[in-house]
Structure 1
Amino acid sequence: MFDILMFLFESYFHSGTYPNSDKLSRKLSAAGFDNEDIHLALTWLSGLEQLNKADYPSAINGSNGRFYAAIEMKRISYDVRCFLTFWEQSKIITPVEREMILDRAFALNRENLPLDKIKLIVLMVLWNQRQDLDPLIIEDLLSPADSIRLH
Structure 2
Amino acid sequence: MFEVLVFVYENYWRGEACPELQQLGRKLSAHGFDAEEISAALVWLDGLTIAAQSAAQSVGAGLEESPISFLPQQQSAWSMRVYSASEQAHLGAQGLGFVMFLESAGVLPAAMREIVIDRAMAVNAEPMTVDELKIIVLMVYWSFGQEPDALVLDELCDSAEGRLAH
Q: Same-fold call, TM > 0.5?
A: yes
Q: Residue type of the partner of 1:23?
A: Q
* % identical equivalent positions: 36
Please list every run of 5 or more consecutive structure 2 residues that lacks an aligned counterpart in the other structure.
59-69
| Contact 2:103–2:109 (CA under 8 A) maintained in structure 1 | yes
**Structure 1 stretches of 5 or more lacking a match?**
none
Read off the aligned partner of 1:77 and give its amino acid letter: G
User: How big is the alpha-carbon RMSD for the aligned residues of Structure 1 and Structure 2?
Assistant: 2.1
User: 2:125 pairs with 110, 118, 135, which one?
Assistant: 110
SS in 2 for 1:93: coil
1:43-84 deviations in Å (ceiling 9; x for gaps): 00000000133353425x225321111111110111111111
**Corresponding letter in the other structure for 1:13:** W
- The alignment partner of 1:32 has SS state of coil
Change (3 A) 1:120 1:98: same
Q: Give the Cα–Cα distance (whole angstroms) in 2 for the partners of residues 43 and 15 of structure 1.
A: 15
Report the Cα offset of residue 129 of structure 1: 1.8
Residue 131 of structure 1, CA deviation: 2.8
Amino acid paired to 2:49: E
Report the equivalent of 1:81: 96
- 1:14 CA drift (Å): 6.2
Measured after TM superposition, the shift of residue 145 of structure 1 is 4.1
Within 2, Cα distance between the matches of 1:37 and 1:15? Answer: 20
Looking at structure 1, the residues matched to 119 and 152 of structure 2 have their Cα atoms a distance apart, in angstroms, of: 19
Aligned residue pairs, count: 150
Equivalent-residue separation in structure 1 for 2:15 and 2:113 (angstroms)? 25
> Residue in 2 aligned with 1:138?
153
Contact 1:116 1:145 in 2 (8 A): no
CA distance in 2, matches of 1:56, 1:96: 6
Residue in 2 that maps onto 1:91: 106
Question: Partners in 2 of 1:104 and 1:74 — Cα distance?
Answer: 15
Which whole-Å deviations, capped at 9, do the CAs of 1:11-44 have from their partners, x for residues lacking one?
A: 1116863111121111100000011110110000
Q: Is residue 131 of structure 2 the alignment partner of residue 120 of structure 1?
A: no
> Counterparts of 1:141 and 1:71 in 2: how far apart (Å)?
24
Spell out, residue by residue over 1:69-123, the C-alpha distance to the aligned partner (whole angstroms, 9 max, x if none): 1111110111111111111111101011111000000011321001000000000
